[in-house]
Amino acid sequence: MTWRPGVVTACACGLLITAGTAIYAQERFGRPRAPQIQANVEYDSRPVFVRLRYDTGFSGFGRRGGGAGWLHDYPVADLNLMQIVKALTLTDARVDGSNILSLDDPELFRYPIAYMSEPGYWGPSDAEAEGLRNYLLKGGFIIFDDFRGGDWYHLEQQMRRVLPEHHFIQLDISSPVFHAFFDLQALDILPPPYGEFMPTYYGIFEDNDPRGRLMAIANRDNDLGDYWEYSATGLFAVDLSNEAYKFGVNYMIYGLTH
């Protein structure tokens, strides 16, 4: 199912007011603080937002502080997106919590979609690289978000460890992932919340064939998580938050159906 942009915008605008019901992990003024990590929800076959945890190998903090980079925008972005997914699609998404898992956790294989924030700080162990490789080759789908500049080259390097026989391919608007639910018309309609580069999108496909299953998508020079987290605060224009939700919902529906 695809939705016309005008219909989607009208529905999403009404939902933005109630989407930000979770406790914010950042003070409105002053230095960001690390969020309190909540217990994972029990598996019951319903879709859950899964955020990937990793050891940065550095100071443990991402670019903006306020906790490790993999935690950025947690848990508000996670729950806001799933509220939109549940409200606009026929998906019975979990909105009472999200999960945090490591790449070498066998529990990850229960969930078809996983999200990683700030992959520029990600340095997987051999076991984690093998875990992600097996996850992707067995049907998993990973979303890389919240990175820019030289982070891209670091991500490429790490993914060569995970899938040495695969490589990133730049996506255009014809890619099915951008039409999985919302029928996006262009990729340059959503500027990054911070930074000077217009986002581009890259994917890794089975057998390096763009006609095949998309195993990974990378939002280069973008941060959809920030748009999701602050959609109910007025920090960003409503139309931009709407577009960010369209990308997120498409990713979720694609991962659930492929």
Convert the pLDDT of each residue in 8-33 to its tens digit: 444 554 554 444 443 343 444 344 56
Round to whole Å and give the CA distance between 15 and 17: 5
What does pTM read for this prediction?
0.88
- How, if at all, do strands 141-145 and 113-117 pair? parallel
Domain boundaries, the chain: 5-21+47-257
Q: How far is Cα of residue 17 from the mean position of the Cα atoms in its chain? A: 21
pLDDT in tens, 177-223: 999 999 999 999 999 998 779 999 999 999 999 999 999 999 999 99
Structural class in CATH, domain 5-21+47-257: alpha beta
Task: Decide if pLDDT at 6 tops 60.
Answer: no
Q: At what angle do helices 238-257 and 5-19 cross, to 10 degrees?
A: 100
